[in-house]
Structure 1
Amino acid sequence: MFKSLLNLFFPKVCYACSTLLSDNEDTICINCRHDFPVTNFHFDKDESLKKVLYGRAKIENGTALFRFEKEGPVQRLIHGLKYRGYENIGFTLGNWLGGELKDVEAYQDIDIVIPVPLHKKKLQKRGYNQVAKFGQQIALALNANYIDNALVKITNTKSQTKKTRLARWKNSEELFAMKNITAIENKHILLVDDIITTGATIEACSLVLNQAKNVKISVATMAIA
């Protein structure tokens, strides 16, 4: 009765289409789950994400859960996650992708999951890193360690959501630094982010992570544009 009363005054809605959720649904309705533009990169051994970084960053494996479509449900999800405080979206997407990756051989030797970090000022303003729960759930599924204090961002770039691909690439001077290099030595790292477009951010992070001895880097994102 209490749950029904709570739903009456604070109804749960799908973050993708805004329809009311039923009791057995959470965050995303079943219809949207079936309609999302999933990539299946990890199942099909598709190297589309690796090709984005070809010649710029050495990546062992790369996958994205969704294809990003402008004005589509994936954009609404990521926008809600980043700008409306819907942090549980990251939890849901991490469960989704983690549940799939744990059955893929290429990801079963992941040692560490590292999120692309936010600058401390942006983190303070938003209150959370939008890929934290995403990465935590993937790490849990893969029995890997989640480490969010090894890689830090030392430049505070403005939001690039309204910029073109060329403008994003030109504004890609994002600088990162390593705080504890010994923690990742001889490890297979899964670097996680929300969306990959030009690959500039992943490239910048990879350059820093590769300063550690004998590391391998794979990448997993919520979406690829």
Structure 2
Amino acid sequence: MLRTLWQDFLGLIYPRLCLACREPLVTGENHLCTGCRAELPYTDYHRLPPDQNPLGRRFWGKLPVRHALSYLRFIRHGRVQHLLHELKYQGQRDVGTALGQLYGTELHAAGLAADFDLIVPVPLHPRKLAKRGYNQAAAFATGLAEGMNVPAAAHTLRRTTNTKTQTKKNRAQRWENVATVFEVEDPAAVIGRRVLVVDDVLTTGATLEACGAALLAAGAAEVSIATIACA
């Protein structure tokens, strides 16, 4: 009782805010307000057969992907862009963890958690990691792991080169930028395992393709991908 009163008092002084719209959360709401939860542009790709999944088609002929999953559609100047900006540039790693928990719970309910043995985030170069303080993909992986009850391993992949930003590159340039910059630190950790590779946003898929190729070359049984959002 006293704890609840103290939490309510703190809420008056330091209200918990929705991660998407920054409005105060009410009792019973966590991370996202009810309005944003209802209006976020969900993809529901996990409900589609693989041959009808438009995200999976991006990897046809490039990487054998079992599942291609993305929680939200990226819409410029919308809630999703705001969430990703908070995650990547405003130090709000809880955004990634919270969205991972929500999505992981959905994937578990859909029966997909049984298809993964390990969740591996796309790594940042140590220099960029030191500057940002955390890996946004690893935050998402942590949430997914909690929601699906599947282990995550943040250091399975290593980025060997500090590549330039991918933002203004076309697909060919993006692939050239990342094709040889990932390696598996401990192949024994992935041999024979079904790996879910995760990142914050999927645009052309070049980064995830490079990570998936490195994992398969190291002996992973199969690779799937999942992101917070897709453009």
Distance in 1, matches of 2:39 and 2:220, equals 41
Change (3 A) 1:3 1:184: same
Change (3 A) 1:140 1:7: closer
Which of 44, 69, 73 is 1:63 aligned to?
69
Alignment partner of 2:115: what SS? Answer: coil
Q: 1:52 — aligned with what?
A: 58
Superposed displacement of residue 8, structure 1: 3.0
Contact 2:200 2:227 in 1 (8 A): yes
The one-letter amino acid of 1:77's match is: L
Q: 1:120 — aligned with what?
A: 126
- State how 1:61-210 maps to structure 2 within 5 Å: 61-161=67-167, 163=168, 166=170, 169-172=172-175, 173-174=177-178, 175-210=181-216
Superposed displacement of residue 104, structure 1: 2.7
Change (3 A) 1:106 1:19: closer
Q: Deviations over 1:85-130 (max 9, x none)?
A: 1111112111111111113344413111100111101111111111
More divergent stretch after superposition (168-177 vs 142-151): 168-177
2:45 aligned with 1:26: no
Q: 2:21 — aligned with what?
A: 17
Contact 2:17 2:23 in 1 (8 A): yes
More divergent stretch after superposition (151-160 vs 47-56): 151-160
Alignment partner of 1:114: what SS? Answer: strand
Alignment partner of 1:89: what SS? Answer: helix
Distance in 2, matches of 1:160 and 1:9, equals 41
Contact 2:19 2:83 in 1 (8 A): yes
Q: 1:37 — aligned with what?
A: 41
Q: Percent identity?
A: 37
2:36 aligned with 1:6: no
Change (3 A) 1:86 1:169: farther
More divergent stretch after superposition (57-66 vs 169-178): 169-178
TM-score, normalization: structure 2? 0.89
The one-letter amino acid of 2:71's match is: L
What RMSD over aligned residues (CA atoms) do the two structures have, in Å? Answer: 1.7
Structure 2 unpaired stretches of 5+: none
Distance in 2, matches of 1:143 and 1:29, equals 25
Alignment partner of 2:199: what SS? Answer: strand
Contact 2:193 2:222 in 1 (8 A): yes
Superposed displacement of residue 11, structure 1: 2.2
The one-letter amino acid of 2:182's match is: F
Structure 1 unpaired stretches of 5+: none
Superposed displacement of residue 215, structure 1: 1.6
Alignment partner of 2:136: what SS? Answer: coil
Distance in 1, matches of 2:93 and 2:218, equals 31
Superposed displacement of residue 143, structure 1: 3.0
Contact 1:169 1:198 in 2 (8 A): no
More divergent stretch after superposition (22-31 vs 115-124): 22-31
More divergent stretch after superposition (125-134 vs 45-54): 45-54
Superposed displacement of residue 35, structure 1: 0.3
Contact 2:97 2:144 in 1 (8 A): no
Number of matched pairs:
222
Superposed displacement of residue 214, structure 1: 5.1
The one-letter amino acid of 2:13's match is: F
- Give the structure with the larger helix fraction: 2
